Amino acid sequence: MSDGNRFTGVAPALVTPMRPDGAIDHFALEDHFSWVLHQGVDVLVPCGTTGESVTLSDEEQKEVIAACVRISRGRVPVLAGAGTNDTRHAAELAAAAAEAGADGILSVTPYYNRPTVDGLIAHFRAVADASGLPLILYNVPGRTGLNVTPDDLFRIVDAVPAVVGVKEASGDLAQIIGVLHRRPPGFVVLSGDDELTLPVMALGGDGVISVIANEAPGPMSELVHAARDGDWSTARELHATLLPLMRANFATTNPVPVKTALELMGRAPANFRLPLLPLSARSEVRSTLRSALEIAGLIEPFAPPGT
């Protein structure tokens, strides 16, 4: 098995900034990717769920990944999202990501068609063969309708050596413990939920593919690096400060809250492609986000006029 340790630490699941007409805002994208990189993150992850990959064309995905590679300039690895439920298409996306310069592939389990374990093995083998890159398997049953259990995961790993790690977003800590206890040497286990990062790392996990690292890349990097160094007091303190924002980011469908938060921070406009819509000005989620950003120290507390 290839060693997946280069994909450990904090890996922001990068948003894809867009213009009001739905086109990619390349200026805002490069600005955001550069800002996040310079806050001390360890890996960059373009074109995942948070990056709205399902509504990007194949050519747009390749452009976003290439921009990420160009901005990184080899300073951190680029783990490119390149997954779908059609194996042939997933293999094409992975090959394009490799051509764009990605260092690894974040490959989601096929959604909706819910294949057997043998089908998953064939799927990931095809993706690995097409890209020639290491794969991080993305297990997110809340989106795919398919949960990869530890038994299933390690059947896949045994059959497809290119699978060097897992992004575990089942939300099931007992399942994640099962993965951690059974993993072979060099196999990376990344939390797929910001809120579970601290407990997963306390149990031996290797980091997180993170939504909040779009808004708070510096503090989230400090949290993970403190946990990695055994400084649990600092890690717990940062976790408590960031927890309201971690939860607010999922008060409605991701990435609507995180893009809205970035707009509140003055970093990038909150534009989306249908079927996602922006939050209304009176949305309770917007108020929750503002409060969480204030607690995290990312925006100044709101002062009513005249105060």
Cβ 182 vs Cβ 152: under 8 Å: no
Q: Which residues pair with 79 in a beta bridge?
A: 104
In 208-242, which positions are buried (b, 16+ CB within 10 angstroms) versus exposed (e)? Answer: bbbbbbbbbbebbbbbbbbbbeeeeeebeebbebb
SS3 47: coil
Q: What was the pLDDT predicted at 58?
A: 97
Residues near 187 by beta carbon (within 8 Å), at least 6 away in sequence? 1, 4, 157, 164, 165, 166
- Indicate the pTM of the whole model: 0.95
Q: What was the pLDDT predicted at 159?
A: 98
Q: What confidence tens digit (pLDDT) does each residue in 191-215 have?
A: 999 999 999 999 999 999 999 999 9
What amino acid is encoded at 47 in this protein? C
Q: Where are the alpha helices (DSSP H) in 1-86?
A: 26-37, 58-72
Find the mean pLDDT for residues 96-102.
Answer: 98
Alpha-carbon Rg of the chain, whole angstroms? 18
Cα separation values, 236 from 8, 190, 202, 224, 268, Å: 20, 18, 11, 10, 29
Does residue 303 register a pLDDT over 80? no
Q: What was the pLDDT predicted at 50?
A: 97
CATH for 5-229? Answer: 3.20.20.70
Give first-to-last CA distance, the chain, whole Å. Answer: 62
How far is Cα 4 from Cα 164, in angstroms, rounded to an integer? Answer: 5
Burial class (CB in 10 A: 0-12, 13-18, 19+), 191: buried
In this structure, is the dihedral angle defined by the CA atoms of residues 272, 275, 276 and 277, taken in order, positive or negative?
positive
Tokens 């990007």 locate to 56
Q: How far is CA 53 from the centre of its chain?
A: 12
Cβ 22 vs Cβ 271: under 8 Å: yes
Cβ 88 vs Cβ 123: under 8 Å: no
Find the mean pLDDT for residues 254-275.
Answer: 96
Q: What confidence tens digit (pLDDT) does each residue in 37-59 have?
A: 999 999 999 999 999 999 999 99
Structure tokens at 180: 């951690």
What amino acid is encoded at 300 in this protein? E
How far is Cα 249 from Cα 232, in angstroms, rounded to an integer? Answer: 24
Mean residue pLDDT across the chain: 95
How far is Cα 218 from Cα 40, in angstroms, rounded to an integer? Answer: 6
Q: What confidence tens digit (pLDDT) does each residue in 157-200 have?
A: 999 999 999 999 999 999 999 999 999 999 999 999 999 999 99
SS3 136: strand
Catalytic residues: 138, 167
**Percentage of the chain modeled with pLDDT above 70:** 97
Cα angle for residues 30, 273, 101 (degrees, 5° grid): 40
Structure tokens at 256: 């609507």
In this prediction, residue 1 has a pLDDT band, given cuts at 50, 70 and 90, of very low
The percent helix, strand, coil of the chain (3-state, each to 5) is 50, 10, 40
